[in-house]
Each structure stands twice: as structure tokens, then as C-alpha cells.
A and B are shown apart, each in its own frame.
Chain A
């Protein structure tokens, strides 16, 4: 085969490799949607999005779990974002230069900890601790939020760090040259300039929090009811799917797939959101 033919063939093969992600995504959406059809047909959207989950009575409402997902994710972000941003600022602005690599390594390690190991830690240490402090069962939204905060922190830190480092040095230099303090520079110049990137980091962190399964499963209770406080058990979409898929048949199983579909759509929506937010990255270009 002449080298030109070979080039043509190789290009096509590589294109196929690149398309695998697209085809894969399509397949995931297709099969999850297909498996969830019986639920939509027999239970109907009104039932599926209602607030009662009681398969014995034919009620398959996922609202409880949706609320669980959103509250634990929000809690995780609330606790984790300030820590992550501080860490990012620390690593780029405040830490002594020599130790920056060391601390960055620490964050990297945290990113690599398997979620089940973190969940085990939550179950063996965090939940008993919360129980001792509050006298409740210890599991629930508070525990899940803390665990999620630990999980999303590396993500938000890494991306925010990139965003902060991408701000041209001249901005900070100009600011300091006019007599601004370090903090004024950070607060009024750097952070606004890096805002699109930081926003993207937080949204990606949210994606991570929404999709987290194992770590939350070991500290969330579980119980298929709305939580009445931060320390009463509940469920999230992911944990419900995890714990019940193996045991369900028929419409119940199909409604679990419907929950999976909701998660899928949520994930893709977040990706689109990140793109829209990052488009503003060019906002603070300065003619040098």
C-alpha cells in the first residue's frame, strides 16, 4: 500500500478512535433512556417526580432523592469552595515559593483518594464524631456534605489555580505598583480577572458532587424520606440507584434508570454551563 493510501487509512482509523467518546456517550444515553421507558409509560412523569417513594403502592417519586442530591451537593460546595479557593490563593500567591510544589502534591494526593476509602473513613470516624456531638444518628446531610467537600476540594483547587495563574502578571504588578496591598490586589484584581475560570471550577466541582456515589452511600443513612434536619438519614439519586438496583425488578428497576437519566441530563447540562461561563475568559484582556 502506498504511503498515501496508508495515510488515508490511518487518518480514518484515528478518527474512529476519536469518535468513540461521542458514540459511547450516545450509547449510554440511549440505553439508560431505553431502560427507563417502562417507568415513564406505566408510572408516568407525574408519579416519577412526585415526593412519595413506595413501590409497594406503585409510587415511584424521585423528588426525595433529587432534593437529597441537590442539598448534599450544595452543602459540599458551601463547605469546600472557600477552602479550595483559599488553597488556590495560597498556592499561587501566599505560600513561600519553595514549598509550593510540596503543598500542590498534597492536593494531588487528596484528588487520588478513592471515594470508597473516603466513605469508609466517613463511616468509621466522621459519623461517630457527629453522633457524639449531636446525639443523633450521625448520618445524613451534614456528614455527606463534609465528605463531599473533601472530595470536590481538589477539583476546585486545581482549576482555580490554573485560572489564577492564567491572569497576566502585569495586572498584579500594576496593582502593586500603585500601592495596593496584597489582599487588595487579590480581591479587586486577580479574583475578578480569574472569575470565569473559578466559576468553571465550581461548576465542575458541583458536577463531581452530584455524581458522587460511594462516599456518600456510607454516611447518608439511608432512608427514602425527606430529611428533617441535617443529621437525619436520607438518600441521594446516586445512592438510591446504587443500593436498590441489585434488588429491583420491573417498574421499580425502570424508575431507577429514570433517575440515572436525570443524572445524565444534569451532567450534560453542567458541561454546557461550564462552556458558557468559560467563554467569558477573554473578558479582561488588556492591550499591552
Chain B
């Protein structure tokens, strides 16, 4: 009853609402001990009700307008961002001499190929570590763990880790991996740092994928005599794999776009394509920052940075598309939500 009252503002004109409709007015329900309501009172109540109704409609219309326009603004921001970045840099980004070219420290005409390779190399190294850890943790949380203190601790740990600013991860990685473990500025140091950074998200998406596997599948496996691990390995994981893959692809997008944590662990600028994971590299996201600061010695630094930003954006968009297509294709094939 309370909901209905609040919804319609019946405090303002209880009987009036009914009176406001084009329905023959009945006498409002008699309150106990009250005098019968006079016709004049009825008219007044009807007026109040009509006003309330008009106000409600006006508010509704304005709210609708407000929501539409604010949403349009929000969505146009997306279009604006994509449009401007791609407009300014796509030409450069897609030219082979730029994409596959060698970077320059002092002259014009540099390219970004080592940076592109660095980004992918870093992503590959990170995935190698974060996927097994994340999926393993997710399996534990969804299949083995109870509701006890340990579970809550793990959840708190994951939530907190995902809230830590990336620059803090960067200085942590610098102190522990670059200096303490003496890895130096290297792809490995960066991969270790990014593993920690991305672990919560991979855990979350893997857990979602695993939990969405229907119980009946698990029950069937158990009924056939599988142990819990066998169930997981043979029944649950294969079905959850597409969801996990989607999560992995999105993770690549995040790694490739990560800048602050990478600057202090991997490096900002290299001239050659990195081969060893123990040597410095220069992922694109970090290199753009470099172009904004020291790299500005190069006369065409603006063009290089714009091109790099455009290429990075394009890459992320493609990855996003890929992740979505995997999810959609699987959904069609299997019929459950992944």
C-alpha cells in the first residue's frame, strides 16, 4: 500500500486521482465518522487532482527529455572521442612506413614497430601467468570454497587489488621486480606487475563463466563417477572456456592500454624490436607518454604520438569486437549465457 501511495502522490489528492480521469465521479469512500463530502469539496478535490496529474505529466515529459538529452550527450562523447583520435591519427597509423618503421630519437620519420611488438609481447607474457592463476583461483572460489572467512578474505583481496591505482602498481613493480629481484627494466618485470594488476578481473570473469555452467552438467558428471576435479576439468571448464576466452581477450585490451604501471617496469623507448623478456621494451601506451615528454625533441613528435594513439585505439576496438564475437558465436552454438 505504501508503494502505491508514494508512487502516485496520493497524499496530495487521494480521491482526486480517480476524479481526474474521465470517468464518472463516484462519491469517494466515506471516512469513518466524517461528514459526507459536499459537491463543492468534490470539485476542489478534482481540481487539486487535475493539477497534480498535469504536474506529473509535465514532470514525466521533462524527465524523459532530460534522460534522452543527457544520454545523447553521453553517447556523443563516445563518438567524439573515437572520431577525433582516429581522424587525427589514422592516416599515420595505417601507413606501413610508420607501423613497421624504426623509431627515431632525434630525427623525423620515426616508426613504431618495436612498440607494437612490445605491447603484444607484454600481453602474451602476462596472459601466460594471469590466465592459469586467475582460472585456478576462480575454480577454487566457485567449486571448492565454502562461505567462510577464507573466501571473504580472498574477495576482499581481489576487490582491493582492483581498486589500487595503476601508478602504485608501477612503483611497487619497480621496487620489487626491477630493483629487488634485479630484473631491470624488462618485459618480465612488467608482466609480473600486470599479472597482479589484472588478476582480479580475470578471476571475476572466469568465475562468472564457470558459474553460468548449468548445474545439471556437473550433476551428470558426478553421477557418472567423476571426482570433483575431473568434473571441473572435463565438464565445467570446457563449457566455460568461451567465457574465459572473452575475458582473456578483454584482458589483452587492458594490458595493451596500460601505461602507468608499465612506465616504471618496462621502459619508454627502444630502437630495436625486443627479443628477450629480460631487456627493456617500450609498449605503445608508455611510448605515447614518452613522446609527450622527452620524445618531443623529434620534429614530428606530434604526428608520431597521434598515430600511435590512433593505432592503439584501433587495436582496442578490434579486441573488443573480437571478444564480443566469441561470446555471441558461443551463445548461439550452445544456447546458454556465457
Pair A211/B165 contact, Cβ less than 8 Å: yes
**Is B224 an interface position by the 8 A CB rule?**
no
Residues of A within 8 A of B77 (CB): 110, 150, 153
Q: Complex formed: what's the CA distance from A145 to B263 in Å?
A: 24
Least CB distance from B7 to A in Å reads 4
Pair B64/A84 contact, Cβ less than 8 Å: no
Pair B259/A116 contact, Cβ less than 8 Å: yes
Pair A17/B9 contact, Cβ less than 8 Å: no
Nearest neighbor of B291 in chain A, beta-carbon distance = A120
Pair B171/A116 contact, Cβ less than 8 Å: no
Q: Can you list 8 residue pairs at the A/B interface with Cβ under 8 Å?
A: A7-B228, A14-B140, A83-B71, A114-B258, A114-B316, A180-B7, A213-B167, A270-B163
Pair B196/A24 contact, Cβ less than 8 Å: yes
Question: Contact flags (1/0) for B122-147 with A, using CB distance below 8 Å?
Answer: 00000000001110110111001100
**Is A131 an interface position by the 8 A CB rule?**
no
Question: Contact flags (1/0) for B203-229 with A, using CB distance below 8 Å?
Answer: 100000000000000000000000111
**Is A214 an interface position by the 8 A CB rule?**
yes
Pair A7/B229 contact, Cβ less than 8 Å: yes
Residues on A close to B: CB < 8 A? 3-4, 6-7, 10-11, 13-15, 17-22, 24-25, 27-28, 31-32, 35, 82-84, 86-87, 89-91, 93-95, 103, 105-110, 112-118, 120-121, 123-125, 150, 153, 157, 171, 174-175, 178-189, 204, 207, 210-214, 217-218, 238, 241-242, 245-246, 256-257, 260, 263-264, 267-268, 270-271, 274-275
Residues of A within 8 A of B196 (CB): 24, 28
Known: A180-B8, A183-B63. A21 touches B259 (CB 8 A): no
Residues of B within 8 A of A7 (CB): 227-229
Majority-rule SS of B interface residues: helix
Majority-rule SS of A interface residues: helix
Pair B229/A6 contact, Cβ less than 8 Å: yes
Q: Complex formed: what's the CA distance from A256 to B175 in Å?
A: 13
Pair B81/A150 contact, Cβ less than 8 Å: yes
Pair A213/B161 contact, Cβ less than 8 Å: no
Pair A212/B71 contact, Cβ less than 8 Å: no
Least CB distance from A162 to B in Å reads 12
Pair B67/A86 contact, Cβ less than 8 Å: yes
